[in-house]
Amino acid sequence: MRMTLSQIWPCWQYSRILRIVHLHFAELATGWLKNGENVWQIRYTQCFLGR
C-alpha cells in the first residue's frame, strides 16, 4: 500500500511546508501556487479532521 503524505508527516509539518512554499514560489509562480496551495490546505485540513 502506498503511503500518503499525512502518514509520512505529522500534522504540524503541513503549515511549515505551506510557509516554505509561500516564501519560495509566491513571486515566481503565483498561478501555480494558488492551485498547489489549495491542495495543501485541503490535505492540511483533512489531517486535523483525522483523515
pTM of this prediction? Answer: 0.24
Q: What is the pLDDT of residue 37?
A: 62
Tell me which residue range forms the domain holding 10: 5-48
Q: What is the pLDDT of residue 29?
A: 53
User: Per-residue DSSP letters for 6-41?
Assistant: HHHS-THHHHHHHHHHHHHHTTT-HHHHHHHHHHHH
Could you report the per-residue pLDDT of 4-50, keeping only the tens digit for each?
655 555 666 667 777 766 655 555 555 555 566 666 666 666 666 76
Q: How many domains does the chain have?
A: 1
